[in-house]
Chains A and B, each alone.
Chain A
Amino acid sequence: MIADPIAAGLQRGWSVRDASTLDADLHLEADAVVVGTGAGGATAAETLARAGLRVVMIEEGPLQSSRDFHMLEREAYPALYQESAARKTKDGAITILQGRAVGGSTVVNWTSSFRAPVRTLAYWREHYGLRDYTPERLSPWYARAERRLSITPWSIAPNANNAVLQRGAAALGIPTGTMSRNVKGCANLGYCGLGCPTNAKQSMLVTAIPAALDRGALLVHGARAERFIVEKGRITSLECAAVFPGGSGSARRAIVHAKVYLAAAGGIGTPALLLRSALPDPYGLLGKRTFLHPVVLSAALMPEVVAAYAGAPQSVYSDRFLDEYAFEGPAGFKLEVPPVQPLLAAVTMPGFGTSGARLMAEFAHLQVVLALLRDGFHEQSQGGAVELASDGSPVLDYAISPYLWEGMRRAFLAMAEIQFAAGAKRVLPVHESAWPYASWREARTQILALPMETLLTRVVSAHVMGGCAMGADPRTAVVDGDGRHHLVENLYVVDGSVFPTGLGTNPQLTIYAIADRMASRLARSLGASSEE
């Protein structure tokens, strides 16, 4: 029997409320209320609770734990993801994978952990006046997250899916690296994206959230933060609506009064909350410059069984095509592989009918490489804008610029060449107009002719960033380098939405580090004692 730290904590008497079961409105008082329990919110909540503050955590999603994680896509997507893992950008062109549960996206991410690229931090310092954002000054915060979350390089051999990237790249002289992962006693199952069934993944669900609850924090889940109430430049309360697990609302509300308010509802969620609250935004920055690291994919049919659903989903990467390009130059991309499970594969692969069925019949031999495009640095890569639908729900309008399309075509070429170099029999760029090409020569010719258009090229994203940029200048940033809102004195933003650009790598570790730093400084400013 696998120990379930959530069940154990509830047994010990944690303060946890499910708002969807409320029979009357809930009124709460706290020193700090944190909206969102993902990488940013949970980290901040732990830090504040350790400093002795009374913390309330608000989470829209459900509280599930290892006993609920059955490694079944049909259960996990509706339960643990925003919009059943089918969240789309406004024009339907990009599918966004984003968590929606206690623990946020950390419950369903693939555990890949990187520090921020040195170049990205230099850009933030230069263009956003974030003087403290040097690798040296951030290093202790990174080190603390790495220690707490057991982040170390993956020491087991990569699974066959990752090995193809490693082997193909090596054959072409392209350097690859081994990823670090936030796991402890990982059984190498491969189902990180559906909730870790063994609690090996050191997600917020089994680390920061239990730590905060053990120090007296209150968690209210099934509660969607609707708006902050602002009076005279200060927030006086937070209004939340109770939501059922399926997402529909109930009439009950939770109202929280606190000294400080922390927004950590993620890219899309945080800007939407601030927009609904009609906070001052004189420079029209809120929700703008939202970044996605748009991803294109290339599928290969290998002679060997790949079983890309089994084993640590991501362990090998290549930054060659990031390092090669200056920010002012063509779009760079990072190469990784995704886990391949039947439902997600079937909805992602192009085509239908007998050709689709033939492809799925080769499922065990299917290998997939992904290219994650770096967005937010070039004048033709300004990201998207979060808007509100008539019901107040957020919609992200993200247009893919010709600059990014050009990068995606180069990414298709790079991925296909690597896959053939690794011995692929056929390579299929994930694009409606493509078919499984039999040689690198054929692939090259055909990829150069592919129409790079929305809803023909499959584009996905698993990294939503920006929309509440941090920076020294209120004319170009919503919050300062400590996450404090430039115009509302007791509001802080402590999640990936503060990134002024896309990060250029998987973001979880940087969110942990920055949120911890912001919350620690906040605790000190409130006169609280830091425990560590």
Chain B
Amino acid sequence: MLSLSRRELIRTGIAGSALLALAACTRSNAPNAFDDSAYRYRALSPADRELIGAVGAAMLAGALPTGTDHRAALVQVVRGVDVAMSGLTPHVVTELHQLFGLLEFPPARAIAAGVWSDWSRASPRDVVRFLTRWRFSGVALYRNGYQALHQLVMAAWYGHAASWSAIDYPGPPRLS
């Protein structure tokens, strides 16, 4: 039953659009842990970076280095997503911003994703549960949202040479 009401709320119609509009208005721009003087973000707001950071840490659990290198690798992923988004068409970027806006608007985050704290404080378990729920959701829109996040995060990490040694990929051959 809960999933039906969620569907009603988010999927279509006035309630969904109003929520998206409200979400867009309330997107936070407060500084945060992914602020980075060495890189100027073009597509991701501070709140988007927290979201991608949380999702990236969960999606790449077991793939990112652990210990002191973990944070730097995660920053690399968030930056990589920013770079990738700068190359997408305006139409697609708008859709992604709608997705991020939804997930950053606390009531929607709680209802649609089942995550009750800010993304920066969300437990890895909650993030994994959210991703799993969306991955197999009966609502195609949620599955689509999961796939979009998956694609952005995976591309950002595995396009980066730091990921290659763990998968025994030697990198491109040298041309003599």
Contact = CB atoms under 8 A, between A and B. Distances in A.
B158 A360 contact: yes
Interface in A353-369: 353-354, 356-358, 360-361, 363-364
Interface stretch (A203-211, A319-327, A342-350): A342-350
A185 B166 CA distance: 33
Given A72-B172, A343-B155, A356-B62, A364 B167 contact: yes
B61 interface: yes
Interface residues of B, number: 43
B155 A92 contact: no
B59 A352 contact: yes
Contacts of A77: 155, 159
A519 to B, nearest CB: 30
B163 interface: yes
A246 interface: yes
Contacts of B167: 342, 360-361, 363-364
Contacts of A246: 86-87
A432 interface: yes
B5 to A, nearest CB: 22
Contact of B147 (A92, A189, A191, A353): A92
* B interface majority secondary structure: helix
Contact of A357 (B62, B91, B131, B175): B62
Contacts, number: 121
A70 B169 contact: no
B92 interface: yes
Interface in B122-160: 128, 131, 135-136, 140, 143-144, 146-148, 150-151, 154-155, 157-160
A262 B62 CA distance: 52
Contact of A353 (B61, B90, B169): B61
Interface string B102-133: 00000000000000000000000000100100
Contact of B159 (A191, A343, A352): A343
Contacts of A450: none
Nearest to A245: B87
B84 A84 contact: yes
Interface string B41-84: 00000000000000000111111000000000000000010011
A189 B171 CA distance: 12
A346 B77 CA distance: 14
A250 B61 CA distance: 41
A92 B62 contact: no
Contact of A247 (B87, B140, B147): B87
A78 B59 contact: no
Interface of A: 2, 70-74, 77-78, 83-84, 86, 88, 91-92, 189, 191, 197-198, 246-248, 309-310, 342-343, 345-347, 352-354, 356-358, 360-361, 363-364, 389, 391, 393, 395, 432-433, 454-456
Interface of B: 58-63, 80, 83-84, 86-92, 128, 131, 135-136, 140, 143-144, 146-148, 150-151, 154-155, 157-160, 163-164, 166-169, 172-173, 175
